[in-house]
Amino acid sequence: MTLEVDIRHSFGAFHLEAAFSAPAGVTALFGPSGSGKSTIFQAIAGLLQPDAGHIRLAGKALFDRSAGVHIAPRHRRMGCVFQEPRLFPHLSVAQNLRYGAGRAPAAEAERVCDMLGITHLLSRRPGALSGGEQQRVAIGRALLSQPDFLLMDEPLSALDAARRGEILPWLERLRDEAGLPILYISHSLEEVARLATTLVLMKEGKVTGAGPLGEVLSGASPGLSLDRAAAVLQVQVTGRSADGLNKLRLAEGTPLWLPGAPLAEGRQMRLQIPARDVMIARELPQGISALNVLPARILNLTPISEAEVMVRMATGGGVIPARITARSAAALDLRPGGQVFAIVKAASLLSGD
């Protein structure tokens, strides 16, 4: 099931033009305040009728200005999660969940509670829960309304770092198991890199980049700070060395080594590699301190200033960008299609299943 958005709307001097698709999984809307994220949220929720365009779910129009279609919010079969949990304080967790459950069967309620890890909280009231627990209950209530899609408006922004760390693994599980389009608004690129499967970059009312997370983050989009360009790769933990390094494996089998606390073998994780921490060599380097050197093929080179270029390279595990000087690119005679080696100076783990 895919949510398709293609709308235009104006508020005074502000003009919104947004077109993107949100398939099952998490589609993150990322951009600064005033870029149009909230307007898109309101339009999809049915709280605002855009001046032009359409919004479709699985091919069915929720809104179509030219056809005169506007499905009322209560008929859109959506679940909404906001910055604040908005739970009823006088009701228990179980009663709050039942309020949104409608005709959801008991087995579905059990599945949602298990997926979000809230079964042990059912008898408590919201006041006895942490902020992260309250948000998990709010998400459960939204899911039990049996929605066709979820809208999440900065659901972690009101939580401190500890509570965000508590709820993120459950959001990852929601992404992987719910099978729904989830539109997720956030100001945090760290959240986006950890959760999103699709990324939509917004700037001044325009979509400046949209597509699979790894492809968009590895580019040189106007909506993304150059310092934030990065690869996000899926890896699996395969072991640990005697000298304290975790051994990881990319999708096609290439090994990577990363220091840190021991990780459970078999664990699936996301690895982030900033473009600024990648070097390029034409030949396999010898006698260097970097442990991770990946064979790669150059996809394209994009000038980002008079002195720098962004080089995007394909590896067996995904796309890796490198931010290097134009002088280095010329000296190495880098061209699309060329075979090179990506030298990873630093990387960090984002998540795990």
Contact indicator for 67, 73 with CB cutoff of 8 Å: no
For the cut 90, the answer to whether the pLDDT of residue 275 exceeds it is yes
CATH 2.40.50.100 fits 230-351, yes or no: yes
**pTM attached to this predicted model:** 0.87
According to CATH, the topology of domain 3-213 is Rossmann fold (3.40.50)
Residue 232's pLDDT band (cuts 50, 70, 90): very high
Rounded CA gap, 134 and 194, in Å?
A: 21
pLDDT (0 to 100) of residue 199: 96
Q: What is the mean pLDDT of residues 344-353?
A: 81
Domains of the chain, residue spans: 3-213, 230-351
Q: Helices marked H in 8-160 — which ranges?
A: 37-45, 93-101, 106-116, 131-144
For the cut 70, the answer to whether the pLDDT of residue 353 exceeds it is no
Domains 3-213 and 230-351 share a fold: no
Instruction: Write down the mean pLDDT value for the chain.
Output: 92
Rounded CA gap, 36 and 198, in Å?
A: 18
For the cut 90, the answer to whether the pLDDT of residue 165 exceeds it is no
pLDDT (0 to 100) of residue 101: 72
pLDDT digit string, tens, across residues 288-333: 999 999 999 999 999 988 999 999 999 988 899 999 999 999 999 9
Rounded CA gap, 50 and 187, in Å?
A: 24
pLDDT (0 to 100) of residue 65: 97
The fraction of the chain above a pLDDT of 70, given in percent, is 98
pLDDT (0 to 100) of residue 352: 56
Q: What is the mean pLDDT of residues 218-236?
A: 82
Edge-to-edge strands of the sheet including 245-250? 255-259, 245-250, 230-240, 268-274, 348-352
pLDDT digit string, tens, across residues 2-37: 999 999 999 999 999 999 999 999 999 999 889 999
Which amino acid makes up residue 274?
A: P
Residue 239's CB: how many other CB atoms inside 10 A?
14
Residue 170's pLDDT band (cuts 50, 70, 90): confident
DSSP at 127: G
Residue-by-residue DSSP string for 29-59:
EE--TTSSHHHHHHHHHTSS--SEEEEEETT
pLDDT digit string, tens, across residues 86-130: 999 999 999 999 887 766 788 888 989 998 999 999 999 999 999
Q: Is residue 75 classed exposed, middle or buried when 0-12, 13-18 and 19+ CB atoms within 10 A define those classes?
A: exposed
